[in-house]
Amino acid sequence: MAQLVCSDLTLGYEGHAVLSGLSFSVNAGDYLCIVGENGSGKSTLMKTVLGLQKNLGGSIRWGDGLRENEIGYLPQQTIVQRDFPATVWEIVLSGCQARCGKRPWYTKEEKELARQNMEKMGITSFRDRSYRQLSGGQQQRVLLARALCATRKLLLLDEPVSGLDPKVTAEMYDLIESLNREGITVMMVSHDLAAALRYATHILHVGREVFFGSIEDYRKSDFARRFLPGEGGTEHA
């Protein structure tokens, strides 16, 4: 079942288009990697899908009972965010805010959900520590636990391994893959085309030209010859 259908989208800022004519769909259980050069519109697409900015044209439709406030989102981290003065527990629990509506407190069920997601991410022992004192990999696990508190169906991840060392990067990719195997749909912006081809089921390659399709079809496409090492590719995703 399609959870997201984007048709003939035009994306940009203040009337200036950075990407146009974009059409793709995401089905339940998919693992879609969005790749492309810097400035090609990857993060803009994420923000538009989330309703954080308006599309300049085309349409975005939700399915499978999803709404914008029922999506788990892990944004790119800034220096200011890495220094956020809150405990791990406070940050993870804040992922339940959309469930609260106008209610100014968290229920026992929401607190239990936060506890379960902390355990799933292996960060229970950090519960009372300040977020700013954690390593980059630990912080990403906290933010992923927070995103899981917001959704049971769809995760949007914007460069989730940016700035992490190779060992922690591999651990984060394995965590995301395990969540996908449990049935959570994943949309991930990445510069790592090799990882996308290893973990994803589908590729959305944006830029001067656009490709959307399965990993198998991508490998057979002109994009593979241009971008994949060993296939004659010299350009960078």
Q: What integer pLDDT is reported at residue 234 of this predicted model?
A: 45
Burial of 60 from C-beta contacts in 10 A (0-12 / 13-18 / 19+): middle
Least trusted range by pLDDT, from 5-19, 29-43, 61-75, 156-170? 61-75
What is the pLDDT, as a whole number, of residue 28?
Answer: 95
Predicted local distance difference test score (pLDDT) of residue 103:
73
3-class DSSP string for 12-32: EECCEEEEEEEEEEEECCCEE
| pLDDT > 60? residue 236 | no
Q: Is the pLDDT of residue 130 over 90?
A: yes
Give residue-wise pLDDT tens across range 134-176: 999 999 999 999 999 999 899 999 999 988 999 999 999 999 9
Q: Which residue has the tokens 């990403």?
A: 140
Q: What pLDDT score was predicted for residue 68?
A: 67
pLDDT for residue 232: 46
Provide the token pair at 31: 């693992």
Residue 139 in tokens? 């912080």
The pLDDT, as a whole number, for residue 237 is 52
Average pLDDT, rounded, for the chain: 89
User: Residue 72 class from Cβ within 10 Å (0-12 exposed, 13-18 middle, 19+ buried)?
Assistant: buried
pLDDT computed for residue 150 by the predictor = 92
Q: Give the model's pLDDT for residue 80.
A: 52
Sign of the Cα pseudo-torsion (212, 213, 215, 218, in order): negative
Classified as helix, coil or strand, 219 is: helix
pTM, 2 dp: 0.89
DSSP 133-155: GS-HHHHHHHHHHHHHHH-SSEE
The structural domains of the chain, with segments of one domain joined by +, span 82-150
pLDDT digits (tens, 9 = 90+) for 48-76: 999 889 999 999 999 988 876 679 999 88
Query: Is residue 105 scored above 90 in pLDDT?
Result: no
